[in-house]
């Protein structure tokens, strides 16, 4: 699939990146650092949609982008194909083209889940996600062996 597809599946806004854009977009988010071994396929509401080593499709919170927060969405790519047909081709004429759904303060950092989300452009979303995911990793690693702050 070399065209981005997007639209509503139930209550979730879904975006599936064009196959030829996935690697570039994954680099924007530094996806391989935060979720190694997974291939970024798109976004599913507030989550990243990714393909695992086991050929299953998962959703993982964009923040924190950590394997401990993954949830299986489809047992394989073929099972996703039927839902994919409900999404339309995205073009620059589309109002949400290259934008992502975002909460101003991530829930894991005290954000309010009932806060109204905003649509921000993908470059800004990637920058915010990299910041919060790096912050999450730093906090999670405090007190771990090798932590400089813990060294005496």
Give the CATH number of the domain where residue 110 resides: 3.40.1580
- Listing DSSP states for the chain in one string gives --S-EEEEETTEEEEE--GGGHHHHHHHHTHHHHSTT-EEEEEETTEEEEE-TTS-EEEEESTT--GGGEEEEESSHHHHHHHHTTSEE--TTSTTTTEEEE-SS-GGGT--TTSPPEEEEHHHHHHHHHHHHHHHHHHHHTTSTT-GGG--
On whether residue 91 sits in a domain, the answer given is: yes
On whether residue 151 sits in a domain, the answer given is: no
Q: Which domain holds residue 35?
A: 5-146
On whether residue 41 sits in a domain, the answer given is: yes
Read off the pTM.
0.80
On whether residue 152 sits in a domain, the answer given is: no
pLDDT tens across the length of the chain (152 residues): 678 888 888 888 888 999 999 999 999 999 999 999 999 999 998 899 999 999 999 999 999 999 999 999 999 999 998 888 888 777 666 556 666 766 677 777 777 778 887 777 888 889 988 998 999 999 888 766 655 554 44
Count: domains in the chain: 1
């Amino acid at each position: 699939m070399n065209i981005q597809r997007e639209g509503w599946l139930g209550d979730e806004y879904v975006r599936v990146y064009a196959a030829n854009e996935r690697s570039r977009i994954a680099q924007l988010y530094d996806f391989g650092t935060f979720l190694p071994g997974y291939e970024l396929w798109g976004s599913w509401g507030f989550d990243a949609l990714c393909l695992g080593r086991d050929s299953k499709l998962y959703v993982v919170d964009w923040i924190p982008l950590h394997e401990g927060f993954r949830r299986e969405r489809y047992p394989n790519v073929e099972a996703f194909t039927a839902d994919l047909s409900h999404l339309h081709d995205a073009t620059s004429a589309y109002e949400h083209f290259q934008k992502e759904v975002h909460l101003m303060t991530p829930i894991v950092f005290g954000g309010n889940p009932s806060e109204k989300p905003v649509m921000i452009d993908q470059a800004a979303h990637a920058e915010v996600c990299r910041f919060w995911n790096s912050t999450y990793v730093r906090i999670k690693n405090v007190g771990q062996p090798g932590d400089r702050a813990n060294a005496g």
